[in-house]
Structures are given as C-alpha cells and as structure tokens.
Amino acid sequence: MAANSDGINDIHWLMDILQNIDVGLVVLDRNYDVQLWNAFMEGHSGLSPQRAKGENLFSLFPDIDESWFRQKAEPVFQLKTRTFTIWEQRPYLFHFRNSRPITGRSEFMYQNTSIIPLESVNRQADHICVIIYDVTDTAVGKLDVSRANETLSQIQTRDSLTGLLNKSSWLPVLEDYFQSQQPGCLLLMDMDHFRDLNHSIGHQQCDELLRRIGQGLKSLSADNYAARFGGEIFSVILDNHDAASSMELAEKLRRSVLNLGRNSQHDISASIGVAERSDQNGSAMEWLSNADKALYHAKESGRNRTSLFKN
C-alpha cells in the first residue's frame, strides 16, 4: 500500500516537474498530433494544453517547415535514435517572441531542439518527444561577438570614409595581380590643391568629396581593386585594360571629378597617372612606381590632366 502511494507520488512529482521545467516539452504521435504540451509551451505560444492536445502540429503552426521537420523526426520514429538541431542551423522550430530582458535585442527566441523516441510497451516508438531549449542569451551573445569581429576586420582593411580598401590591404591585392601575369593598368589619382580646397570649402565638404569620389571608383573596377591609397590619393587596378582603354577611363574619371565643382566657385580637379603592366616590370612595386612617375608628370605639367607612363 505504502509502495503504491510512493508510486503515485512519484508520478505526481514527475508531472509537476514536467509542467514547471524551463524547457518546452511536446509529445507527438505518429500523425504528428500533439499529445502533451507543457507549461513552457503554453506560456510562450498562448495555447493551452487542452487546446493543443489532439491537434496536428502543422495545422497549429503552419510556419513550421513540415518536410524539414518530418525528415528530422521520421528516423526517430523508425530507428529509435535521437536527433538534435542547433540554432546555428535553424534559429528556431517554434516562432516564439523573445521575452528575455537581457537579450531583448532579439525579436524571437533562439532554440535548440532535441527529438527523442518514446517507446510504448510493445517497444515501438510510436511517439516522439520534442524538447525545446531557449538559447537566446547564448545566441545573441555569440552573434554580437561575430558582428564585432566583422566590424573590427572591416576597420582594419577598409577606409572608414569611403569604404574602399586601405593601402595596407590593397598592396597584397596589387602583388597578387602582378604575379598573375594578367594584363592591366594601374591608375593613381591625386586631388589638386586639396590643401587650399580644405581651407576654402572646409574639411567636412572635402570629406564629402572624397566619399563621393570613392563611390565613383567602386563602379570603375572590381570591389577590391580600388583603394584609398592615403589622404587624397586613390589607386585602382584596371584589370584586363590596355593603355588606350585605361586612358579613356582615366579621362572620364578626371572629368567626373571636375564636374563635382561645376556649381561651385571653387575649382575641384584631380591629376591622374596611368602605367600599363609590362613584362619589363620587375615587381609590383616597380609598376606602382611607374604610375607614380606618371602622376608626378601630370602634376608638373599643370595638374587636372592624365599622364601615361612611358619608358
């Protein structure tokens, strides 16, 4: 008699634990109809166990990807093996609102999910138990760290004003390009009298000019071929362009810079040096130096012009 009442107590306690535990528990039968729905699930879905019981999971939650879930659950029924899905693979099974005060930045609850087989007396797994763990704190923390790392590497490789690569991350790109033996031209552009322009129109307006020029350069070639070389100097690899077509592009660029000052009383212009990659170049640095010589020539010949390096 005492043993019997112990047994009843055990079951009672187990039911209490099951109801109050801070994970979601859902028992499904072979038709994916809900047989058990604990308080966690009620609290987050607003659906009482009475309403959920006997209802089909996919009718109650149409946004669950049925074929994906069946693919996960069928082996659990058939092979009686557990399965597990983590939030990195799929952020959640049940779309619940995030109710955590600390991680309030996430709109929904990130979930890890286990599915375990439940055997009946005939040793058939004709039910499964889906266990939902709220892992929002961990997920948001991890996502914050990876976003911070991404921003950090962006800061290290890109210029914050224009979004172009900075010199130190562009130089290896130039080196690789040079090593690849592909034909191409190198363009160096330096704003004219930028010091004076800073004095006359102000630092902020000049920053805006640099930003717009940076935007323009992005459309000129592949994303990682253009760089803010430093200050008011930009560099671009014009891949697979010969000298003639590079000069054409460079002139177009020079005119578009000139255009930026069209409605202003101040002259806005740039000088450009172009050097074609040649087999005589012993290194990427020599190629760069040739472009620099051409740029110097453009400056010396009066600025607001494009020069091509000639041996």
Ligand X SMILES: Nc1nc2c(ncn2[C@@H]2O[C@H](COP(=O)(O)OP(=O)(O)OP(=O)(O)O)[C@@H](O)[C@H]2O)c(=O)[nH]1
Are 186 and 241 in contact, with CB atoms under 8 Å apart? no
Q: Which of 142, 82, 140 is nearest to 113 (CA)?
A: 82
Is residue 276 a contact residue for ligand X (CB under 6 A)? no
Q: In the set 41, 185, 232, 243, which binds ligand X (CB under 6 A)?
A: 232
257 binds ligand X (CB under 6 A): no
* Closer CB to ligand X, 103 or 269, in the complex: 269
C-alpha to C-alpha distances, 253 to 232, 233, 234, 256, nearest whole angstrom = 15, 14, 12, 5
Binding residue (CB under 6 A) for ligand X from 119, 231, 255, 301: 231
Contacts of 125 (CB under 8 A, 6+ apart): 76, 77, 78, 80, 117, 118, 119
Nearer to ligand X, 159 or 276 (CB): 159
What's the DSSP call for residue 33? B
β-bridge mates for residue 131, sequence order: 25, 114
> Which residue lies nearer to ligand X by CB, 120 or 204?
204
Q: How far is the CB of 202 from ligand X (least distance, A)?
A: 8
Task: Check if the beta carbon of residue 140 is closer than 8 Å to that of residue 106.
Answer: yes
298 by DSSP, 3-state: which? helix
Q: Smallest distance, Å, CB 236 to ligand X?
A: 18
Residue 37 near residue 49 (C-beta atoms within 8 A)? yes
The tokens for 288 are: 């760069």
Residue 134 touches ligand X, criterion: CB under 6 A: no
Residue 112's CB is within 10 A of a number of other CB atoms, namely: 21
Among the residue ranges 87-95, 104-112, 194-202, 247-255, the one whose residues contact ligand X (CB under 6 A): 194-202
Q: How long is the chain? A: 311
What minimum distance in Å lies between the beta carbon of 158 and ligand X? 14
Is residue 309 within the footprint of ligand X (CB under 6 A)?
no
Q: Which of 51, 193, 218, 297 binds ligand X (CB under 6 A)?
A: 193
Residue type present at position 118: L
Does residue 207 bind ligand X (CB under 6 A)? yes
Question: Binding to ligand X by residue 194, rule CB under 6 A?
Answer: yes
x/- mask, ligand X, residues 152-191, rule CB under 6 A, reads: ---------x----------------------------xx
Q: Does 292 bind ligand X (CB under 6 A)?
A: no
Count of positions on this chain that bind ligand X (CB under 6 A): 16
What would the two tokens of residue 216 be? 């323009």
Q: Does 206 bind ligand X (CB under 6 A)?
A: yes
SS3 state at 26: strand
Among candidates 298, 299, 302, which has minimal Cα distance to 310? 298
266 binds ligand X (CB under 6 A): no
Please state the closest distance from residue 159 (CB atom) to ligand X, in A.
Answer: 9
Site residues (CB under 6 A) for ligand X? 161, 190-195, 198, 203, 206-207, 210, 231-232, 299, 303
